[in-house]
Every structure is written in structure tokens, then in C-alpha cells.
Structure 1
Amino acid sequence: MSIGLLLALAALAIVDSTSFGTLGIPVYLLLAAERSQVSRLLIYLATIAVFYYLVGVALMLGLSTLLDNYGDALRSPPVYWLQLALGVGLFLLSFRLDPKRRAKLGKPPRTFEPKIGGPRTMVLLGLTAGLVEVATMLPYLAAVGIMTASDLAAATWIPVLGGYVLVMILPPLFLLALRAVARESLEPKLVRLRGWMTRNAASMVSWTVAIVGFLLARDAAVSLFFTGSA
């Protein structure tokens, strides 16, 4: 496995670590949790890390199997037309999610306020955040695609995927450790970060959905109209 591939995966993992699920919600939990409740944040992070790791394993195994057994069928015109429709649908959906458009229509802005509770609630919150974000986490999907295309052996990609997920949750763990030793000076910065992510969470989701839709539609259009797949 080359150093370049590892650096590319590390860069994608760092981008993933700044998402609302891996950084925004942990910041909320950091500000809301007392020392006796820190375990809830750790439960949340463990849940989302395990969720993404299992999703990554499933994608790695599934993509390899699909490409080996159904590669020609997946490159057929009907599949590309379905992909094109899905891409256009997601792109249009992004406009409905745009907070500026909702404001013009007089609709209340969507809020992303996580509910804090016991261990079961934290597990459910982690699973919910993972389910909401997994389809739109372009860096994660790109990393899985890169590893699949590199034809890595399972003995290689299994620990690499684990390292990727660990990097994703390092920023909130770092903030948790820093908060333990410098709580008074860190607290105002966390409040500002929470405010910024709250104001921009809806826009980030809208832009991510738009980008995913555009990329899906573009790939399908190129295959249908410019490479003779139709």
C-alpha cells in the first residue's frame, strides 16, 4: 500500500471529521455534559464509529462482489437512466432543503438540536446521525471507492478502514481532553463553534445533497450520451 494512498485516505478522513454528525453533535454534547455525563459522549462516538466501520466493510465487500458478478448489468442503459433520475431528484431536493428558500416561502428554518439522554438515547442518536449522513458523506464514499479500486487485500483494508474511522472521531476526543484541562478558556470557543454549525448545518446538508445529485447525474449523463452506453 503506497504512502500516497494512505495520505489521500487520511485527508478524506480529516474532511469527514468536520461533519455535523462527527463534530457538530459532539460539540453540543460537550457543552451540555458535566463530567459525570462524559460517558454519554463516548458512547455516542463509539456508536457512530462502529456504525461507519460496519457500513464501510459492507460497502467494500458489496462493491467487490457486485463488480465481479454484475459489472456489465450495472453499466447498462436502464441502470444509468435510474441513476440520472436519482441524481436530478437529489439536486432538486437540495433546493427544498435550502434555508434561504424556506425563509422566502415563510417556512420555519430546520433545526438540528440533538436530544441528550441516557446511554440508550446516545446509541440511538449515533445511529440516527449515521443513517442521515452516510448517503451524503462524499469523502467516506470516495475513500471506500479508492480502496476498492486499489484492489487491496482484506488483511490490508480492514485495519486501514478502522484507522480511517478513528481519525474521523479524533477532533471531538481532542476537544474532550482539552476541555478537561482548560474548560474556562475553551468554553466560549465551543459556544461560538456550536453557533456557527447551528446556523450553517441546514446549508451544509443542502449543498451536500446538491453535490451528490450533480455528481450522480453527471456520471450517468456522460455514460448515456457521450460514451455510447445508450
Structure 2
Amino acid sequence: MKLTEYQALLIDCDGVLVDRDSGVWAALQPLLENHAGPLDKAALLADFNEVLQSLYPRFGELGFSGLLCFAHRQLAERWKLKASWEEGMSFARSAAGWTLFEDAPGAMLYLRKFYRLLVLGDRDAEDRGVLCERLGIEPEDFISLASAPLQDRDWLDANGLDAAAILHVTRPGTGSRAVGAVCLICRDLDTSPAPCAADYCINSMADLVAQHQLSLRR
């Protein structure tokens, strides 16, 4: 299917639109002040991702802030550091301040002229409205990671969508998707898969806009 033929884009929030890694790195610096030696950013983020994924089965119980708070506690234990629950909650609340990649707002403004934009991510209720406003989407188009919209026939029918006509815009390392086409946004060229195993592999949301414009001319 041509890029211009999709009905909707299902876009990962963190790592594609929101610079989560920089936010996590900055918010963990107070904890790392007592670390015995320097911790490589890539290693830190790998530890964080591993811990966060292990906690996701408890998402319904903890909510997003709870997951981040417990992740902070488990990272402190893993690194043999002391951390209070107050510090964990401060880390969790940092998610509200994670910045957008600079190309994200303009790309979303352009792409919503051609597609329904769905954003896949998680935030607590008090943060979701502000983030949706920044991204230019309706709150109902912000979909939890705990759901599987491309495999939910009732949701697809209610929204007049076909899974085959939804392009999932994601980042490397999130795992393969069983349904639908995939566009990888490879902002970090060092982690870009070679060869590309997705339907599209591009470097940024700005490049996605450029590729769409090229498709319109063909």
C-alpha cells in the first residue's frame, strides 16, 4: 500500500513524538549522584526499559505514575543505592515535563490533514489532556499501551477503521506487530536495523512528512 493510501497513523508517543529517553536520563541524575562510577546512558536506559516492562502487568493497579515510581525503586535496588518514595514520586512526576521532539508538532499538524492520528502511550489522567493539546489530537485518540487497537474488532468497527489501512509509526526495539503495516522512526542511526525489516524505515517525523509529500507527487 502506498503511503498516501492509509486511513490512519497509530503513532508511538514515547520515542517517536516525546523524547522520553532524555527525560528519564535527566530525572535519574539525582539518584545517580551516589553511584560508585559513571553509568553509560545506553546502559541506564536499557535497565530502565527492562524494569518498566517487568512492571507493566501491574499497570491497571499502579497507573503510569505508579509504574515509574516502582521502576525508580527497583533501579535503586539494582544499582545498590538508597532512594526514598518521595524521590520515586518526584521521578514519576517528571513525565509531565518530558519534551516533544522538535519536529513532532509540525509533523502532526501536517499529517492530520491526511490521516486520522492515533497516539499510543500512557499518561495519568491529569497529564493526558495537556499532552493531547500539545500533540493536536482529541483525548479519545490517545490509546493506552495496555490495549491492542489493531486487534480489537469492536473498536475498529466503532471507529470505521480497517487494521490493514492503519500504519503503525514506531521505533526500533519495540517488538514486531502481528497486524498492519509498520513504519520505523530511527532517530538514533546507531540502532537502526539493517536491512530494514519494516514497511518503511525513516529518520524522523519530519522525514515522514517529506516522504508523504513525495508520494503525493507520484
TM-score (norm 1): 0.25
Name the one with the larger strand percent. Answer: 2
User: Which structure exhibits the higher relative contact order, with contacts defined as CA atoms closer than 8 Å and separated by 6 or more residues?
Assistant: 1
Could you say which structure has the larger radius of gyration? 1
Name the one with the larger helix percent. Answer: 1
